[in-house]
Amino acid sequence: MARARQGTWMEHMGETHGAEDHDHDLIEDLSKRLDALWRYDQYIANAEGKPQLQQCWSHLKDQEQKNIQTLKALIAEEVKQGCF
């Protein structure tokens, strides 16, 4: 019996979804970037006494904040267009 079910357990996966793929991609990427952003302060602290590393982490943090703002703006535009 388990063998018969083995081939069909994913048969209907993906039939129902709550957003278009391009909108899901925006949300997924935003989530990953938000997770990364909160780590940068710790990375900066971990690099105490290493100004070059701290500068690198600070630069990456600034870039990530800009990326997050871009994604938020794109998501807001998708919502305005009724895509969500």
What are 18's two structure tokens?
């709550």
| Sequence-distant (≥ 6) Cβ neighbours of residue 19 within 8 angstroms | 27, 83, 84
Q: Which of 6, 28, 32, 10 is nearest to 75 (CA)?
A: 28
Q: What is the pLDDT of residue 1?
A: 47
One-letter-per-residue 3-state SS of 67-78: HHHHHHHHHHHH
- Tens digit of each residue's pLDDT, the chain (84 residues): 455 555 677 888 777 878 888 999 999 999 999 999 999 999 999 999 999 999 999 999 999 999 999 999 999 999 999 987
Q: What is the pLDDT of residue 66?
A: 98
Q: What is the pLDDT of residue 63?
A: 98
Q: Which of 21, 35, 14 is nearest to 78 (CA)?
A: 21
